[in-house]
Structure 1
Amino acid sequence: MNLWRTELALILRSRMAVAALSLLLAVSAAAIVAGLHAVSLQQSTIARALQAQAGEMATQAARHSYAGNDAGDTGYYTFHATWDPPSPLAFAALGQRDVHPYLLRIRLLGLQAQLYESENFNPELALPGGFDFAFVLIYLMPLVAIALMHDLIAGERESGRLRLLAATVPGDARGLWCRRILLRIGLVLAALLLPLLAGLAYAGALGWQALAVTIVSVLYTTLWFAVSAWAAARQRSSATSAMLMIGIWLTVTLLLPTLANALIQRAVPAGRGVDLMLEQRQQVHAGWDQPKEETFERFFRSHPEWRGTPPVTGRFHWKWYFAMHQAGDDSVAGQAADYRNSLLTRQRWTDRVGWVLPGVATQGLLHRLADTDLHAQLAYQDRIASFHESLRLYFYPYLFQERPFRRSDFDAMPSYAVRPSAGSLPWLSLFALSMLTILMGVLAAHGLLRATALR
């Protein structure tokens, strides 16, 4: 125990080490506060929207206090709120919640145009991602590891103590370097995880989620210390050692993920949601100039149960209008499926890139645990689509059978059910990160033994 205290005292005597650890602690705490603030803003936005929605629904309900109201009028003017509340762990890894909608109001009109109507963010501004715990862990923590490890061996060599250490503690050489590295890992993890644990307790995250995030953080931090130890063992000066580590950090954390992302996007082309919106609207607008029989025929292909209902003889009827919107949705259904499959294919290839790039694996793990990744966004869209379908099926009997829509019918409309949080642990990505950590640990141990051996 005295040896551990002595090594800890040596580390804390270094002004650069104390400054690096203090900065990491401050940045980690700031990231947690920023993440909690972002989640709080999303929650308050949802709460205000639901309050306004309740007032609007009360106004709409008052319009149905008389008998004989038209269901089409209700379907057109009544908005229904859908929302996707953040999970308890979302503050640590905001993922796609800061670029994709988590609150959407829909009507009985075509779904595709409404799903992507708010897809107007600037992708260049969204590229760096949000400032959260995941950002600090993946991008900033390695720099602190480099600051603590670049002179681990070269500093002893430059001061003339390396041969003395190898000669005076030959039997404890492994223990000496293990203590020095493990103490540095422990100090970095303390600076990272103490604010995180406080945030987890404040947000009420589940115990298994806290454990999973801790495991991922320990693995990723240990991997970078192993990389730094391996690089430190290969260089004779602390300056060249630091340059090599910075080069590795730039390549593994920034350049290779960017290159892999570009290659994936080129190999798996995907359109944009706004393109689906425009195509669906063009189909709807074109329907105004087409014979009503053609519109109904396209609608009856997917809804044959309404084929025998009374035809539309006048210039306008609500059932023709909503059939035109649904026919527009049906016309882009194949494109919507292709767009979704392209996004999922890109995500699968990104997960595979994480098998060899630890930063990509760690980001995917944290976003999946926090339920803030692509799968979460698609699950929210699926819940909206299911709710939209329930609305259509509820209104169609009133529209196609020309039944009056009363106040009791308004009150019986379907209501949106919130999607439950579905955060999970991708075991394959966790296994890949574990294997990368073990591999680098073995290489670092071998390099250290060779570099510190008395020759």
Structure 2
Amino acid sequence: MKNLKFELLLLLRSRPALAALVLLLLLSALSVWSGMRTVAEQNAALQRIVAVQAKDIAERTARQAPDAEAGLTAYYVPHLTIDPPAPLAFAAIGQRDVQPYALQVRALGLQAQLYESEAFNPELAAPGRFDFAFVLVYVAPLFIIALMHDMVSGEREAGRLRLLSSLPATPGALWRRRVLLRLALVGAALLLPLLAGALLSGAAVGESAMLAAAAALYLAFWCGLAAWGAAVARTAAAGAAVLLAAFVLLALVLPTGVNAALERALPVAQGAELALAQRQAVHTAWDKPKEETMQSFFRSHPEWKDTPPLPEGFHWKWYYAMHQAGDDAVAAQAAQYRDSLWSREEWTRRAGLLLAGVNVQVLLHRLAGTDLEARLAYMDRISAFHGQVRQHFYPYVFDERPFGPGEFAKLPSYQPASAAGRPPWPLVLALAALAAATLLLGMRRTARCS
């Protein structure tokens, strides 16, 4: 303990090292504050949207005639679905920055409504958010390199390395203390603001601990790699160059290459194309015989096959059958779109088994509930709720029952669910293995320094 205290005092007496730790603490705090501000803005926006929706329903109820047509009401009345951020969303904003977190659906075709809000400005989305995940993955390794690149070569250049190697202690004990001390200090500077943010956000202890553990393992990976680089380099400049090259390769080049390869190997059409295909299927049905559309509808909804025959001219039950037929026409395309998205996610996770940066990003976004899995879960909840809306209106439309003011109180209500979830355990184990292997490699290499 006395030796550790001495090493701590020695490190903190170095102004560059102390400045680096303070700066990292400030950057981490700033990223947590930025993430919490983004989450607060999204929650405030959701509150405004809910209030506007409630006001709209109240006004429609007041204007509704006792003998109003249910089909007309179903056409115009929107039903709100929301996806509130999980408590840890501030740490990794993920897809919440580019995907809608509130969506209104009506009793019309589902696919067109799911994807009509998918478009966003790529120039605004490209920079991403300055959140904790960004600081951890791309900034923290640079501070570790700055603190450790001359850990061995600095002693060699100062002429103290042989003296330190001759001290009566376990071989490598000095370097282990120095590596672990830097790991602890960097971890404290990075994780203290994160834990404070998790406490203020009301995040669960288990999820917060898992996120902090994933971050600590990633830091351990880079500390081990930095210790190895510091040990193999003969000069401080060479150590910095080797470690910066490793950072560029592992944090920038390889993840970008994997992403580009996945985009080429697994092309995914835009959701807007799916929405367009559904709308075209609906529009085409206007030119088909009505009975053909109704028979198609009855195959998926046999409970309405005994409905009275269609009268001459327009009827709402034919109109909603037409929208159902449009959804059925693009069902295979919608499933393929979803499967393509999930295939990319699975291959990204496989890449994370070897690339620590990819791994920790997947883990953080999973724990924060801001990844593709959370997005698809929200879409599943929208689909289920849309089915409830349709089933609620069908008895009014097909039995030609009026939809009076009192019927608004019976409308189905959407219930949001938590998006956060457990991380993929193979990735957790892989990150732990990568961290342990590099840390052991760095310790063993520094133990041979003399």
TM-score range, shorter chain: over 0.9
Where structure 2 has 5 or more consecutive residues not aligned to the other structure, the ranges are none
Measure the CA separation in 1 of the matches of 2:21 and 2:418. Answer: 38
Determine the C-alpha separation between the residues in 2 that align with 1:390 and 1:38. 32
Instruction: Kindly indicate whether residue 240 of structure 2 is the aligned counterpart of residue 267 of structure 1.
Output: no
3-state DSSP class of the match of 1:391? helix
Return the alpha-carbon distance in structure 2 between the equivalents of residues 124 and 227 of structure 1: 35
CA contact (8 A) 1:90 1:371 kept: yes
Match of 2:240 in 1: 242
TM-score, scaled relative to structure 2: 0.97
Q: 2:20 is matched by which residue type in structure 1? A: A
Q: Give the alignment partner of residue 405 of structure 1, picking from 391, 403, 421.
A: 403
Find the aligned partners of 2:186 and 2:52 in 1 and give their Cα distance. 46
Moved more, 78-87 or 421-430: 421-430
Q: 1:90 aligned to 2:89?
A: yes
| Residues 89 and 368 in structure 2, CA contact (< 8 A), matched pair in contact too | yes
Aligned to 1:26: 26
Partner of 1:155: 154
Amino acid at match of 2:327: D
Q: Given that residues 371 and 424 in structure 1 are in contact (C-alpha distance below 8 angstroms), is that contact kept between their aligned partners in structure 2?
A: no
Displacement, 1:143? 0.3
What's 2:375 paired with?
377
Task: Quote the residue 2:37 is aligned against.
Answer: 37
For residues 209 and 102 of structure 1, the distance between their equivalents in structure 2, rounded to whole angstroms, comes to: 22
Per the TM alignment, residue 308 of structure 1 is displaced from its structure 2 partner at its CA by: 2.3
SS at the partner of 1:68?
coil
1:158-196 deviation line (CA, Å, top 9, x unaligned):
1111112112x1424422111111111111111111111
Choose which of 401, 414, 418 in structure 1 pairs with 2:416.
418
**Residue in 2 that maps onto 1:439:** 437
Match of 1:102 in 2: 101
Correspondence list, 1:272-287, <5 A = 272-287=270-285
* Displaced runs of 4 or more, over 4 A: none
Cα-Cα RMSD: 1.4
Q: Could you tell me which residue of structure 1 aligns to residue 163 of structure 2?
A: 164
Alpha-carbon deviations, 1:365-386, whole Å to 9, x = none?
Answer: 1111111111111111111111
Aligned to 2:113: 114
Provide Cα deviations, 1:301-339, integer angstroms capped at 9, x if missing partner. Answer: 212222221232332111111111111111101010011
**Contact 1:149–1:229 (8 Å) recurs in 2:** yes
Distance in 1, matches of 2:152 and 2:328, equals 66
Alpha-carbon distance in 2 for matches of 1:160, 1:314: 100
Unaligned runs of 5+ in 1: none
Amino acid at match of 2:77: T
Q: What's 1:134 paired with? A: 133
- Match for residue 191 of structure 1? 189
Distance in 1, Cα, partners of 2:425 & 2:137 = 19
The Cα shift of 1:48 comes to: 0.2
Matches within 5 A, 1:181-220: 181-220=179-218
Aligned residue in 2 for 1:300: 298
> How many aligned positions are there?
450
Work out whether residues 370 and 419 of structure 2, in 8 Å CA contact, stay in contact via their aligned partners in 1. no
Q: Secondary structure at the match of 2:87?
A: coil
Q: Which amino acid aligns with 2:39?
A: V
After TM superposition, give the deviation of residue 401 of structure 1 in Å.
1.6
> Can you list the C-alpha shifts for 1:210-247, whole angstroms capped at 9, x where unaligned?
21112111111111000001111111011111011011
1:253 is matched with 251
- Contact preservation (8 Å) 1:306, 1:400: yes
Distance 2:313 2:226 in 1: 75
CA shift at 1:127, angstroms?
4.0
In the aligned structure 2, how far is the partner of 1:263 from the partner of 1:174?
A: 42
Say which is worse superposed, 54-63 or 408-417, in terms of deviation: 408-417
Q: Does 1:60 align with 2:46?
A: no
Aligned to 1:313: 311
Cα distance in structure 2, aligned partners of 1:154 and 1:125: 44
**Alpha-carbon distance in 2 for matches of 1:180, 1:444:** 12
Residues in 2 aligned to 1:3 and 1:337: alpha-carbon distance in whole angstroms: 62
Instruction: Tell whether 2:11 aligns with 1:11.
Output: yes
**Which residue of structure 1 lines up, in the alignment, with residue 71 of structure 2?**
72
Tell me the percent identity: 52
**Equivalence for 2:289:** 291
SS in structure 2 of the partner of residue 89 of structure 1: helix
- Listed one character per residue, the Cα deviations across residues 102-134 of structure 1 (whole Å, up to 9, x for unaligned) are 111111111111111111113454344321111
Distance 1:115 1:431 in 2: 36
**Counterpart AA for 1:412:** K
Question: Is residue 332 of structure 1 aligned with residue 363 of structure 2?
Answer: no
Which residue matches 1:146? 145
The answer (yes or no) to whether the contact 1:72–1:318 under 8 Å persists in 2 is yes
Structure 1, residues 259-311: CA drift from partner, whole Å, max 9, x if none? 11111222222211111111111111222222222222322221222222123
